[in-house]
Structure 1
Amino acid sequence: MKVAILGASSHIAKDLIASLAQSTAYKCTLFVRTPATLDAGVQTIAECEGFPVLDYAAFDDSGEFDAIINFVGVGDPARAVQMGQAIFSVTEQYDNLALAYLRSHPACKYIYLSSGAAYGTNFSAPITGDSVAVFPINALQPQHWYGAAKFQAECRHRALPEAAITDVRVFSYFSHRQSCEARFFLSDILRSLHTGTVLEVAPDDMLRDYLTPADFMQLIDRVLQAPPGNDAVDCYSLAPVGKFELLAAVSDEFGLKFTVAGEQARVNATGPKAHYYSHNRRAEQLFGYVPGDSSLSGVLREIRQALHARN
């Protein structure tokens, strides 16, 4: 299967490219804004596997694809703040690139990396199959723009029922390739483990469902191999994890030192999310996806791998 990867320089795309390279079923073409600046590790994989690395100007002339996977977006909350309203035009630009290809190649599948943020501000309880998107339409703030851009993209996709489009909503994701400089909770943990410094955390708890590379690959593989359809699915592991449960486990296994302090100056680009995870199991119903890891087991394994790579 020939697969075009848009946004191949993103963190989650790098992990998927590494996973796809282990399968003889997939031949990838990687698209980025500036090929020369592609991550060295991904560049090595591309060279070994014969995956072309191209800029977007070459997309229309780069051949026939069986599937497109669109990772273009913002992975780091700090970058989402910097982008501001440009998130709307960037999201639409590359989504339109894929949709235009589908119009001339109707047999092509399109996987769009959406986000749990597409549900808006609806996280006082876990998401279910009956949940609705909630946005304060009369009081929209920059923190809502990322989720609104994803929601808009999903609306465009549902308006094309004949197109083979699957929106994959990622809530939380972590791998050993995560940059310590990114502004995520787990990046802060990694940075403290690397430097031996004490991590300061806010007193409020939060529940997250962290997907890791093996289960993400399983889900994407099942979507690619399934009959074409037009739908959206939420990502999930075997079980979410609370902040302090995770901190205790990382402290026990890796010696993390942390202290509870006041509210931290954390970048909150998409608003507060006490229960940022989903009980919606449509991915199992449609594709037979059953995760192999819980959030805790997956995160601990990836931290273990990150520390081993550094040493």
Structure 2
Amino acid sequence: MMKIAILGATSQIARDLIVSFSAEADKKLHLFARRPDEVAKWLASAGLSGCYPVDDFAEFVGHEFDAVINFVGVGNPAQALAMGSSIFDITLRFDEMVLDYLKTHPACRYLFLSSGAAYGSSFNEPATRDTAATVAINNLAPHEWYGVAKLHAECRHRAHPELNIIDIRVFNYFSRTQDIDARFLITDILRAIRDKTVLKTSSDYIVRDFLHPSDFYSLVCVLLAAPPANAAVDCYSRAPIDKPALLAAMQKEFVLQYEITGNDAGVNATGGKSHYYSLNTRAADFGYQPSLTSLECILIEAKKIITPLVVG
């Protein structure tokens, strides 16, 4: 039986992982959040009422865990902008809480949800194993704070090679639980389909790599089962997708209407990135093999989102 602490259990990606874990009898989860009541209500709505204990973060240190997965942070770009500089304090506070725990529980594994933004805001080409992080130290803009906070955390982790810490850099993640009101290109597309309106989008060429919940779950499982390590891995699907192909597929499958205009109305909380994905397959060294492409991920999950909306 593996005892796993989930920090930040209100996040979308954490909840998807909890649902995936619920099918495994040998994983015992303990959920922590700033709003435990909200997590308990969600568990009930997901048919998991009473399956897992839920506590405030203050209760974390009093337990024995084999692994800790830290999801604390934000996944919505508008929220990231609204948090401003507090993203530094929040990231540091909860990261240090886990690092202090590891000092007295050195056998515990720590998976930290990092971001592709840790590489910096320049993605004129995809990241590779040789890509260096770039920080505009003399002209740091607010949209770069999120990525720098993640980079700082990764630096702290590499400074403790004796501890079992793996940073998971998430680039783009998509599931049926996605908040359709969030400001991403994919959610703008979904709202246009729902409302039968014309999506207005720029001609900018971008490439994205959307990770499916099942592939994220697969990655987490291989990292928990692998020999202890102190490292960072990038998330990736079987294949990324560019904007023209995405628009064409959504038009074909869901009758999306779109118009190419001068500017995007979306929120670029971490800066505009033309090729925001990674060719760094370090995760394969741990046994990770993605099952789905970005397009397959989007079509599978979008159907689950759109069908109820259209019927309703």
Q: TM-score, normalised by structure 1?
A: 0.96
- Alpha-carbon offset, residue 255 of structure 1: 1.1
- Residues 159-179 of structure 1 show CA distances to partners (whole Å, capped at 9, x for unaligned) of 000000000000111001001
Note the 1:83-232 alignment, pairs <5 A.
83-232=83-232
CA separation of 1:50 and 1:39: change in aligned 2, threshold 3 A: closer
1:260 is paired with a residue of what secondary structure?
Answer: strand
Give the structure 2 partner of residue 32 of structure 1. 33
Q: Which runs of 5+ in 2 are unaligned?
A: none
Q: 1:38 & 1:178 partners in 2: Cα distance?
A: 16
Query: Contact 2:109/2:165 (CA < 8 Å) preserved in 1?
Result: yes
Query: Contact 2:201/2:265 (CA < 8 Å) preserved in 1?
Result: no
Q: 1:235 & 1:295 partners in 2: Cα distance?
A: 12
1:193 is paired with a residue of what secondary structure?
Answer: helix
Q: CA RMSD in A?
A: 1.4
Q: 1:271 & 1:202 partners in 2: Cα distance?
A: 15
- Alpha-carbon offset, residue 252 of structure 1: 0.3
Q: Which runs of 5+ in 1 are unaligned?
A: none
The runs of 4+ residues in structure 1 deviating greater than 6 Å are none
CA separation of 1:42 and 1:48: change in aligned 2, threshold 3 A: closer
CA separation of 1:244 and 1:42: change in aligned 2, threshold 3 A: farther
Query: Contact 2:40/2:54 (CA < 8 Å) preserved in 1?
Result: no
- Alpha-carbon offset, residue 59 of structure 1: 1.1
2:267 is paired with a residue of what secondary structure?
Answer: coil
- Alpha-carbon offset, residue 47 of structure 1: 4.0
Q: Which moved more, 1:183-192 or 1:163-172?
A: 183-192
How many residues in Structure 1 have an aligned counterpart in Structure 2?
Answer: 309
- Alpha-carbon offset, residue 44 of structure 1: 4.0
- Residues 244-303 of structure 1 show CA distances to partners (whole Å, capped at 9, x for unaligned) of 101110110111111111213321111110000111110002x11110001011111110
Query: Contact 1:46/1:53 (CA < 8 Å) preserved in 2?
Result: no
Q: 1:39 & 1:52 partners in 2: Cα distance?
A: 9
- Residues 83-123 of structure 1 show CA distances to partners (whole Å, capped at 9, x for unaligned) of 11000000000111111111111110000000000000231
- Alpha-carbon offset, residue 46 of structure 1: 7.5
CA separation of 1:213 and 1:305: change in aligned 2, threshold 3 A: same
Instruction: Report the identity percentage.
Output: 50
Give the structure 2 partner of residue 294 of structure 1. 293
Q: TM-score, normalised by structure 2?
A: 0.96
